[in-house]
Amino acid sequence: MNARAPLIELDGVRKRYNVGRPNEAEVLHGISLALHAGEFAALIGPSGSGKSTLLNIIGLLETMTEGRYRIQGEEVSGLDDAGLTLKRRAALGFVFQFHHLLPAFSALENVTLPALMREGRVSRVQREHAREVLAAMGLEGAMHKRPGELSGGMQQRVAIARALVMRPPLVLADEPTGNLDRHSSDEVFALMRRMHAELGTSFLIVTHDPRLAERCDRIVELVDGRIERDAARTP
Amino acid sequence: MFDSLGFEWRVALRFLREGRMQTLLIVVGVAAGVAVVTYISALISGLQRNTLEKTLGAQPHVTLSAPDDAVLPPAAPASGSAAMLQTQPRAQRPRSIVNWQALVPVLEAMPAVSAVSPMVAGAGLALRGEASRSIALVGVELERYDRIVGLRGKVSEGEARLGPGDAILGRDLASDLGVRVGDRVAVVVAGPGGSVSDSARVTALVDLGVRELNRRTVIVPLRAAQSLVGLPGGATNLDLTLADVWSAAALSEELARRYPYKVESWQQLNAQLVSALNAQSVSTALIRGVVMIVVVLGIASVLVVSVVQKRREIGILRAMGATQGQVLRVFLLQGAMVGAAGSLLGVLLAVALIWAFTTFVRGSDGLPLFSITLAPDLALRIALLATACGVLAAVAPARRAAALDPAQAIRL
């Protein structure tokens, strides 16, 4: 295990839905997990095991019911919506299964959106950087195309470019290859590995695909809302 | 250029562009509403202005006259006794305003008053050969009276001149008497001491805009009327024209408090007209209100649908770090843009409607019924109101969008 301070650290995190109602249900039972800078980890588990809920809590899209959660050493459980949003901006990038690009914006505009959102404008430097990231994804010829004009694999590469463009320390990917064919899936995964190697960005990837999970440096397996296995990949 | 627009502007514009047909329909809807409001406002304003001009073109805004003769109450009966009284109202004789010559400069010095004209008014007969007609005799100083009713602008024949022995007649009266410019006409006024008559040369015929006035009016010099009515040096009325016609009621109240005269505003003399104008104004305000409510509901309904359609995009934006405030502003801006675009189009449509009205709608004389103009400040006020309505309409959908749970929105 890495001796440096963890990038994220969860301690006894529980998540209950419908609290106080007859149908109250706990989906995460005291999860404790730390992820260090530069890690490339897979989060696996059967459907309904709580992977997406855990990823949403880590991504500050949902709040936990109990426990402690620190990002870059800062406790986030006391933050209000504005505080969580700013933290999400600063520390996290997202890649979703269904690409989730904004259809009204071109590939380049989708990638420059985070800068536009933060500063109200896109500088020439930021635009050039976005072009470079897209080019690194092999999308030189598709920068001005709308998502609807791109293949699934290309859309996912745009989504990865968008997640990486502001250089967040951690990218959370929820089934990033779940909607792609094997070839595209391998391409996208290889791209994430390359970005991890080149930029040092940490990745936490939720996947159902054991073939891809086995190619991650660390595998965290969730079963029925509990961590069943947390192990480094055996070479 | 687009990059310099803020995040909210850019996303709002793209969202509107994306739902092209939806956006177009609601902009056209807003434009129709704004056009109706603008056109009706201009039409009613033109109609009211025209009615006022016609009504007040031949009468003063405020009239001062001597108080009516009243029967003095008898002494109160002694205690314990009762008296049965029947009071006969007194016949009103022509009386002069006391000290009117000193009052004229005082009234002229008032800031609200733009012209003062002394007048001797009486009733009599105009005779020409075998024809005779009852008349309203008006004795004035032409220069002053012209500033009250714009008499020179109403001359249909001859030249307005009121030297000694001159008279100006209403057009229809001249026709009834068979009189032309340059002819002489006899004027007879009956008084307590018998009839007084005079002969006058007709210098001009006037169209005062009201048939009854045209059939009865004889305008003579003030001095001649004083002799005919039996009020040497007197004036029965002081006519006032004001800079703002709507200040007449307030000014007449103030004058009535200040001076022991009978003071009447044009509103008192035309109570039915004022009621009709007020009813028109209230109706216009109601129509405006209803149309604006429809505009607000139209924009709101489209934006509510847009929020539902764009839940996933809103979720992505929130996941990427858009604040609730930014999402709120994206939808408020959409409301403002739809309102502003609809306003612009609506004002242009109203201009076209006004042009069509003034070009194609004509009276029996072939002239436009009345003039309608769209005042720039009215157009601007309506456009700003519609834009504000757009923002108002967007408040509920925008709050709903901002409150969306990003995790849930993305899952959908």
What pLDDT, on the 0 to 100 scale, is given for residue A4?
A: 66
- What ipTM describes this predicted complex? 0.84
**To which H or E segment does residue B392 belong?**
helix B376-402
Whether the full predicted model's pTM is greater than 0.90, yes or no, is no
Q: How far is it, in rounded angstroms, from Cα A100 to Cα A103?
A: 8
- If you search the block for the tokens 């050493």, which residue do you land on? A73
Q: Chain B: nearest CA to A191, how far in angstroms?
A: 21
Q: Could you say which residues of chain A have pLDDT below 70?
A: 1-4, 99, 234-235
Contacts of A150 (CB under 8 A, 6+ apart): A107, A142, A158
In a domain, A221, yes or no: yes
Note down the domain range covering A114: 8-232
Q: Chain A: nearest CA to B279, how far in angstroms?
A: 50
B324/A127 CB distance under 8 A? no
Q: Chain B: nearest CA to A216, how far in angstroms?
A: 25
Residue of A nearest to B5 (CA): A121
What pLDDT, on the 0 to 100 scale, is given for residue A221?
A: 93
Q: How far is it, in rounded angstroms, from Cα B284 to Cα B48?
A: 12
Length reported for chain A: 235
Listed by start position, the domains of chain B span 2-54+274-411, 100-260
Partner B contacted by A88 (CB < 8 A): yes
Chains A, B: CB contacts within 8 A come to: 70
- Kindly list the residues from chain A whose CB atom is less than 8 angstroms away from the CB atom of residue B14: 102, 104-105
**Cα separations (Å) of B280 from A48, A226, B34, B48, B76?**
68, 75, 19, 9, 50
Range list of H helices, B187-270: 211-216, 222-229, 248-258, 266-269
What pLDDT, on the 0 to 100 scale, is given for residue A16?
A: 93
Q: Which amino acid is at B394?
A: A
Task: Output phi, psi for B264, to 5 deg.
Answer: -130, 135
SS (H, E, C) chain A: CCCCCCCEEEEEEEEEECCCCCCCEEEEEEEEEEECCCCEEEEECCCCCCHHHHHHHHCCCCCCCEEEEEECCEECCCCCHHHHHHHHHHHEEEECCCCCCCCCCCHHHHHHHHHHHHHCCCCHHHHHHHHHHHHHCCCHHHCCCCHHHCCHHHHHHHHHHHHHCCCCCEEEEECCCCCCCHHHHHHHHHHHHHHHHHHCCEEEEECCCHHHHCCCCEEEEEECCEEEEEEECCC
Q: Which amino acid is at A10?
A: L
The DSSP code sequence of B6-66 is -HHHHHHHHHHHHTHHHHHHHHHHHHHHHHHHHHHHHHHHHHHHHHHHHHHTTS-SEEEEP
- Tally of domains within chain A: 1
**Strand locations in B235-382 (E):** 237-242, 262-265
Domain harbouring A144, CATH code = 3.40.50.300
B10/A116 CB distance under 8 A? yes
In a domain, A115, yes or no: yes
In a domain, A3, yes or no: no
What pLDDT, on the 0 to 100 scale, is given for residue B130?
A: 86
What pLDDT, on the 0 to 100 scale, is given for residue A124?
A: 93
Q: pLDDT tens across A50-65, in order?
A: 998 999 999 999 999 9
Q: Which amino acid is at A97?
A: Q
Q: How far is it, in rounded angstroms, from Cα B65 to Cα B124?
A: 19
Partner B contacted by A85 (CB < 8 A): yes
Q: How far is it, in rounded angstroms, from Cα B144 to Cα B271?
A: 27
Tell whether the torsion through CA atoms of B85, B90, B96 and B97 is positive or negative: positive
Q: pLDDT tens across A210-220, in order?
A: 888 888 999 99
What pLDDT, on the 0 to 100 scale, is given for residue B13?
A: 93
What pLDDT, on the 0 to 100 scale, is given for residue B1?
A: 41
Cα distance between the two ends of chain B: 35
Partner B contacted by A120 (CB < 8 A): yes
In a domain, A49, yes or no: yes
What per-residue string of b and e applies to A169-178 under the rule 16 or more CB within 10 Å gives b? bbbbbbbbbb
Q: Identify the bridge partners of residue B351 per DSSP, sorted by sequence position.
A: none
Q: Chain B: nearest CA to A51, how far in angstroms?
A: 13
Contacts of A32 (CB under 8 A, 6+ apart): A10, A11, A12, A13, A227
Partner B contacted by A148 (CB < 8 A): no
Tokens of B277: 């104008």
Q: How far is it, in rounded angstroms, from Cα B199 to Cα B128?
A: 10
Q: How far is it, in rounded angstroms, from Cα A47 to Cα A223?
A: 9
Instruction: Find the chain B residues whose C-beta atoms sit closer than 8 A to any C-beta of A.
Output: 3-7, 10, 14-15, 17-18, 312-313, 315-326, 405-407, 410-411
Tell whether the torsion through CA atoms of B241, B243, B245 and B250 is positive or negative: negative
Contacts of B239 (CB under 8 A, 6+ apart): B60, B62, B63, B116, B117, B118, B119, B145, B148
Q: Could you say which residues of chain B have pLDDT below 50?
A: 1-4
